[in-house]
Structures are given as C-alpha cells and as structure tokens.
Amino acid sequence: MFYKKNSGNYLNPIDGIKLKTLTFGEKTSMTEFVMEKGKDLPAHDHPHEQIGFLVSGKIELAIGDEVFSVNPGDSWCIPGGVQHAANIKENSIAIEVFSPVREDYLP
C-alpha cells in the first residue's frame, strides 16, 4: 500500500483530536494524530501495542503510573492493555504505529 499525503479523511473521535490512518498492512497500521492545545485524551487502554513519535508540539503523556513531558523527536512504546492518557500542551502532531491493525481507525 502507498499513501499520498492529503488533507481529507480525518476522523474526530474526541473534540480537538483528529486522526487519519496513513497506511496499513496485515499486522500493523500507521496513524497521524492532530491535537489541539488544551485538549485531553482521556485515560484508556486497548489490546494493541502502540509506538509513537511526536513530530511537532508538546504533550504530557501518562503511561501506566508514569508521566512524561514529550517534545518533538521524542518517542514511546505502550504495551497492549496498559492504560494511557495525554494532555495537549501545544498544537501537536504525532505519528503512531499499532499492532495488530486498528481496524476501528481504517477508512
């Protein structure tokens, strides 16, 4: 699969947070998250392993009992089943890879 950048097809699961699956294969999917300053991603968990990279902005990321100040260029890995949340400190863009594929994020 090949993905050509475009400005459409975003999902808005939470006010101020939109996402778009960029590409996916049999075992992984890659998603772009665009997040507005001052918004929160509530605590949640899912069975997918999640690896992320902050492209721009600043977020505070809680993974389990730890909280991290995340700046551009920082990355993380969240095992499946571990609760996590985020507070968006600046308008931010993150790229995250999920395994297995997040079928609920597919176009």
Q: List, for residues 46-87, the tens digit of each pLDDT value.
A: 999 999 999 999 999 999 999 999 999 999 999 999 999 999
Q: Is residue 87 domain-resident?
A: yes
Please, are residues 74 and 89 in contact by the beta-carbon 8 Å criterion? no
Phi, psi at 58, each rounded to 5°? -155, 135
pTM: 0.94
Least confident of 2-6, 17-21, 82-86, 94-98: 2-6
- Structure-token pair, residue 77: 């890995």
**3-class DSSP state of 103:** helix
Q: Is residue 11 domain-resident?
A: no
- Structure-token pair, residue 48: 């997918």
Q: Is residue 82 domain-resident?
A: yes
Domain membership of residue 88 as a residue range: 37-102
Q: Is residue 28 domain-resident?
A: no
Q: Is residue 45 domain-resident?
A: yes
Q: Is residue 80 domain-resident?
A: yes
- Structure-token pair, residue 57: 């902005």
Q: Is residue 43 domain-resident?
A: yes
pLDDT at 38: 98
